[in-house]
Amino acid sequence: MYALSFAVTCLTLLARNYQVRHPTRDTVAIFGKPKKGDRAWAQSSGLDPATGACQVGDRMTLPRRTVLLAKPRGFCAGVSYAIEIVRLVLERYGPPIWVRHEIVHNRHVVDELRAAGARFVDDLADVPEGALVIFSAHGVSPAVREQAKARHLRVIDATCPLVTKVHLQVLRYAREGYEIVMVGHRGHVEVEGTMGHAPERMYLVESVEDVAKLAVRQPERLAVVTQTTLSVDDTKEILLALQTRFPAIRLPAREDICYATQNRQLAVKELARRAPVVLVLGSHTSSNANRLVEVARKEGTRAWLIEHAEDIVPQWVDGLARVGLTAGASTPEYLVRAAIDRLLELGFQHVEDLEVVKEDVAFPLPRALRQGALALRP
């Protein structure tokens, strides 16, 4: 009788654990929605939260080992836009073409484009006079545009439209007599480009401590913009500190935050709540990929940043029933597929999409490229 009762208990625990990974209307009705405390609850009830194992008599029952795949993940619309511009220009005009800064922060993408004939530089002085140059997705300052004009360079702008939107906000605030605070990472190429639109009126803050030390000339006419690779969660404490210290400050609208950054962080939070380990594919130079690792760890799970499948250490996932997998906004999907293959080699048996929000944003290519005739401006 005791054995039967224990077996029923284990089956119930396994079913609830399965529901956490595979929620359906029926299982939610029976067991309730998954909660952040499910991992601790399972452990206290005799169910291993990492492996999902439950012992019935002398037998160990194990669930199917599952890779939980974040959705959305990988390329955002701005990255796809920039890469497609480079590929299309290479196809139409042939190599070499020049790109100021890496088009996106991913070594695999950059190496592929370099092999096709793109040459990446950080200084336009390294571009031959009169050559064809593409500005990267991160955007550039007006000073860089003037330098290109002085060297008679033929320019194609692959700046992400969301970055361009921030540039236009900075110019509008400056015309209206505002000083502007930018929340972002010092040295990031996007921040340098944005700050260059009103250098005499802009201040950079990276932390709440920076806000406390900030000295402005016109506290009653102050506005704030943010680096697009930062999410609502990334900036909320700093924005609150700014609003507390400068009550009249104009804060950015919620829709000004990059949708892709926010969506990928929401997805990685869900992965972290359902899997004891999360793997993030991305470059070590990618701000958003590094932040995904931080977000996962903040949720209480172990997380690692990997550049390709070979970086996966078997001991990280040994014996686990679930592992979460996602990718930064500059990471191509074929790297995700290679990581899945590697995890299958390591004993995982099933791949399941974990869709948090639907994403259908796309940016049209520049008109000249769409029409097949590129009117390049000197």
Residues noted as catalytic: 190
The first and second tokens of residue 144, run together, are 């860089």
Do residues 258 and 228 lie in contact, with contact meaning Cβ atoms separated by under 8 Å?
A: yes
Q: Which of 237, 374, 295, 372 is nearest to 70 (CA)?
A: 295
Q: How many other C-beta atoms are found inside a 10 Å radius of the C-beta of residue 48? A: 18
User: Do the bridges between strand 322-327 and strand 277-281 make them parallel or antiparallel, or are there none, so unpaired?
Assistant: parallel
Q: Please name the amino acid found at residue 178.
A: Y
User: Do the bridges between strand 277-281 and strand 302-306 make them parallel or antiparallel, or are there none, so unpaired?
Assistant: parallel
The residue length of the chain stands at 378
Q: Please name the amino acid found at residue 362.
A: A
Q: Please name the amino acid found at residue 87.
A: R
Q: Which of 295, 298, 363, 348 is nearest to 326 (CA)?
A: 295
Do residues 326 and 271 lie in contact, with contact meaning Cβ atoms separated by under 8 Å?
A: yes
Residue 290 CA to residue 184 CA, distance in Å, equals 14
